[in-house]
Amino acid sequence: MSRKITKISKNIIFSLAIPAVTYVFFRVLCEATGHPGFGVGSDLQTIIYTSVYSGLIALAMFLNLTSGRLDFSIGSTLVLATILGGNIAKELRCSGIVFLLITLAIGALIGLVSGLVYVILGLPPMVVSLGLAMIYEAIGFIFNKAKGVKLIGKSDLLIYARAPENIILIIIVLAILVFLMEYTRFGYNRNALVSGQKIAVDVGINEKKNAVLCYVLAGAMLGIAGCVYLSKYGMMTPETGLSSSSYFMSAFLPIFIAGAIGRYSSAPIAVFIGAVTQAFLTSGFARMGMSNSAQAIVNNIIVLAFLIYSSNSYIFLEQRMFKEKLEAAKAARMKRQAK
Amino acid sequence: MKKKLIAMLVCIGLVASLFAGCKSSSDGGQSGNTEPTKGASQDAAEPTDEAQGETPAIALDGTWPEEHVKIAVECFDTTDEGFLALQSYLDYLTDYYNISFIYSESIASAEDELSFIDSSAAAGCKALIAYYNVTKEEAVKACIENGMYYWSADAGLAEAFKDNEYYLGGYSFLKAGDDSSHNGDYLGGYQMGYSLANQGAKHILYCNGGVSLGIQMFIDRQQGFFDGVAAAQAEGSTAVFDQKADVIGGWPGTDAFAAAQTAALDKDYDAIGVSFSAAVWFQPIATVGKTGQIKLATIGGVTDTFYDAFQTGQMACAVYDCEEVVFGNSIVTILNAVTGNIDIARDNGVPAAIYVNRWTVADADSFTAIYNYHDEGKYFVTAEDMTQCFPAFNPEASYQTVYDLYSALDLETALAKIK
């Protein structure tokens, strides 16, 4: 029992270490450099908003990326679901919750189309998603005469950019995802496919069905992310010429952080912790008045550092394993010599 | 049997398509017969004495110019409201003139631009309207190589191509003789900054968009904004503005912008100048409960995005490039060039620089009046107004006619026209 408690405590500490250190670092730095206000008041609201918004995009990307499917249509799915969902909600004059459900459903539907096209065509996911991104962008552009969606001032709909609504939202989303990943056949199958696709398929797992479900879930996440975005800015314009691909750039750091702390927590929670860390970084930089280009440089260095760590973390594991084996061999030899 | 039937139907279809271009002899042999009658050719070549010196009555029904003119339009963002408004105006003109347009996708690179020019030339375009230009001189050279006229807003290119008749020039925000090297973006930024500081703002923030990415348009606007605020301060404005501390960059959709925006809204700013659409500030301002406390200024169109904001007093100023005034003169210039009236298209052999007014709309009444006028499908320069610039309709037409038509339309004249 105590071993289990120790393990859980260790997992919590290691999972929260990176965001905690980042928060403390920026809090001290901002105070020391005469830039108060980091992580409190409205800045905390922005950190929560950024964590939820980027976290949802990162979760959508994570669902497919870990199975080797880099989805270029993430941004266009988000934009299209938001434009369609927002305009429908505006026409129907519905509540914030119905608005969320409509956008979520449209996102999931777009995800279903993406998944079906991927499994039916059997082309590399990057090729398929590039083509679909262009189609989704074009639909978003044609719809509503290229005006996108404008809900400025509709406070009854735009409730997901502020706490506690966005906190409740992300808790529900994470709870559903953790349940799906850890306690359902879909989750087991997905994990098996991520670990070893060929073996998983050989033992009878339906890879195509699993892939389609991943796309549907990702689409739903993007629909929710669109609601959060719309709640913040009140409007969204269509994207063309693959410019929607910029939307998923903020998803990489959370995913790489999740790669580093993934063994201490469930994958969706790890991704969200990564998004929180990223939100601390951007908010800290903004408080200190760092320019966008300088922020981009630092952010990408951090992404690179996590990528290097994630790609080489097996070396530490190997070294520990070799050390344990060496010690065991030495102990065995000592034992033999003693005899 | 089935295959034979299909083959027969395909053959019938092919044969029918061969005769599709032919018309019956009752149409006077205009299309089928390539040898016109003697009488008809004389009628066309030798006008009667009565007709000489008089303007032929040409209907404004989309049949002039005689030869269809295709025009390519290059833009940086197909979703930009200003571009959509221009597109709407150009589409309106297609009902009256024998013209059509090919619009680019959002041009993101030099490669995109040059490829668009080549493909437009291949599609038969006679001219290019450069609503955007990435490669500067290279784009003009590509047009010249393809035998296309080039109309541009970039005054900096005029010197390099002043002797080439394919380079038509464009509009200018400076009157002839004005001593300034500043371009339209600088002047737009200047008007924004001057207007905000002059309207009693106490603490101003500037949202500079893509300055840190090195995008020239934003750099020029920022410099103009700085100078505009400084000019207003020199005239007695007490507005506080620090060129480093009171500036934020980037666009919505990035975490960095969201963080910077929140940090800015925490401070005591009561005026914000935005180098792109100010609409991205409406909801965040409302969320922090500062609606009505912060005035916004922007470079943007008179569109429904800003309609409510003007009514509620959120908008202090919109620097507006009226599409039919600022860009509409491109059609006059291009049609004169392609119909052989290059002397009207260019100013005494040098590229055109038609002075146009940029309207600084600073009150809700003016905004509403312009908005409603456009909403009713009316334009400040109509297709009929434009006919005075074409010798086919007005034998007295000259470069000065074009210049006078467009340069006269300032905000006051436009508002008077509405009344």
Contact B255 A234 (CB under 8 A): no
Select the residue from A42, A44, A46 to test the B interface by mutation, using most B Cβ atoms within 10 A: A46
The β-bridge partners of B130 are: B74, B152
Phi and psi of B126, rounded to 5°? -95, -20
Among the partner residues A50, A231, A241, nearest to B259 by beta-carbon distance: A50
Provide the shortest C-alpha distance from residue A134 to chain B (in Å): 12
ipTM of the complex: 0.71
Res B25 pLDDT > 50: no
Res B49 pLDDT > 70: no
Look at residue B350 in the predicted model and tell me its pLDDT. 87
Task: Decide if B266 touches A, using CB distance below 8 A.
Answer: yes
Task: Decide if B255 touches A, using CB distance below 8 A.
Answer: yes
Task: Decide if A75 touches B, using CB distance below 8 A.
Answer: no
- DSSP string computed for B179-225: -----HHHHHHHHHHHHHHHTT-SBEEEE-SSTTTT-HHHHHHHHHH
CATH number at residue A140: 1.10.3470
Task: Decide if A228 touches B, using CB distance below 8 A.
Answer: no
Please name the CATH architecture into which domain B184-320 falls: 3-Layer(aba) Sandwich (3.40)
Cβ-based neighbour number of residue B53 at 10 Å? 8
Provide the shortest C-alpha distance from residue A293 to chain B (in Å): 6
d(CA B332, CA B92): 14
B235 Cβ contact partners less than 8 Å away, ≥ 6 residues apart: B198
Chain A: residue nearest B285 by CA? A233
Residue A133 in domain? yes
Segment among A28-32, B99-103, B299-303, B394-398 with least mean pLDDT: B299-303
Per the structure block, which two tokens stand in for A203? 């033992």
Res B37 pLDDT > 90: no
Q: Which domain holds residue A59?
A: 15-290
Contact (Cβ atoms closer than 8 angstroms) between residue A112 and residue A212: yes
The β-bridge partners of B106 are: B75
Contact (Cβ atoms closer than 8 angstroms) between residue B99 and residue B69: yes
d(CA B153, CA B133): 9
Among the partner residues A43, A54, A235, nearest to B263 by beta-carbon distance: A43
Contact B279 A235 (CB under 8 A): yes
What letter would DSSP give residue A73?
A: T
Provide the shortest C-alpha distance from residue B264 to chain A (in Å): 9
Over the stretch B261-306, which tens digit does the pLDDT of each residue have?
888 888 899 999 999 888 889 988 988 888 889 999 998 888 888 8
Contact (Cβ atoms closer than 8 angstroms) between residue B209 and residue B278: no
Residue A331 in domain? no
Domain boundaries, chain B: 69-180+323-359+380-418, 184-320
Helices (H) and strands (E) in chain A, counts: 12, 2
Contact B282 A250 (CB under 8 A): no
Across the range B186-194, mean pLDDT stands at 91
Provide the chain A residues 243-262 that lie in CB contact (below 8 A) with chain B.
243, 246-247, 250
* A296 interaction partners in chain B (CB closer than 8 Å): 256
* Nearest CA-CA partner of A108 in A88, A127, A84, A144: A84
Angle at A126 between CA A121 and CA A131, to 5 degrees: 65
* Nearest CA-CA partner of A129 in A118, A116, A142, A137: A118
Look at residue B181 in the predicted model and tell me its pLDDT. 64
Give the count of domains, chain A: 1
Provide the shortest C-alpha distance from residue A1 to chain B (in Å): 42
DSSP percent split of chain A into helix, strand, coil, nearest 5: 80, 0, 15
Look at residue B143 in the predicted model and tell me its pLDDT. 96
Task: Decide if B176 touches A, using CB distance below 8 A.
Answer: no
Contact A233 B105 (CB under 8 A): no
What letter would DSSP give residue B128?
A: E
Select the residue from B283, B291, B311, B315 to test the A interface by mutation, using most A Cβ atoms within 10 A: B283
Per the structure block, which two tokens stand in for A77? 């799915």
* Nearest CA-CA partner of B278 in B220, B206, B365: B206
Contact A235 B249 (CB under 8 A): no
Residue A213 in domain? yes
Provide the chain A residues 182-201 that lie in CB contact (below 8 A) with chain B.
none
Chain B: residue nearest A51 by CA? B255
Look at residue A23 in the predicted model and tell me its pLDDT. 93
Contact A233 B283 (CB under 8 A): yes
Assign B56 a pLDDT band (cuts: 50, 70, 90): low
d(CA A282, CA B256): 5
Among the partner residues A45, A146, A286, nearest to B260 by beta-carbon distance: A286
Provide the chain B residues 69-88 that lie in CB contact (below 8 A) with chain A.
77-79, 84
Residue A116 in domain? yes
The DSSP H or E segment spanning A165 is helix A165-183
Task: Decide if A43 touches B, using CB distance below 8 A.
Answer: yes
Contact (Cβ atoms closer than 8 angstroms) between residue B282 and residue A234: yes
On the CB side of A64, CA atoms within 13 Å amount to 31
Look at residue A99 in the predicted model and tell me its pLDDT. 94
Chain B: residue nearest A285 by CA? B256
Residue A157 in domain? yes
Contact B280 A235 (CB under 8 A): yes
Task: Decide if B308 touches A, using CB distance below 8 A.
Answer: yes
Task: Decide if A99 touches B, using CB distance below 8 A.
Answer: no
d(CA A107, CA A94): 18
> What residues of chain A score a pLDDT lower than 70?
1
Q: Which amino acid is at B227?
A: D
Task: Decide if A82 touches B, using CB distance below 8 A.
Answer: no
Res B54 pLDDT > 70: no
Contact (Cβ atoms closer than 8 angstroms) between residue B322 and residue B184: no
CATH classification for the domain delimited by B69-180+323-359+380-418, as one of 3.90.1150.200, 2.60.120.260, 3.40.50.720, 3.40.50.2300:
3.40.50.2300
* Nearest CA-CA partner of A265 in A49, A7, A69: A7
Task: Determine if the peptide bond prior to B65 is cis (ω within 30°).
Answer: yes
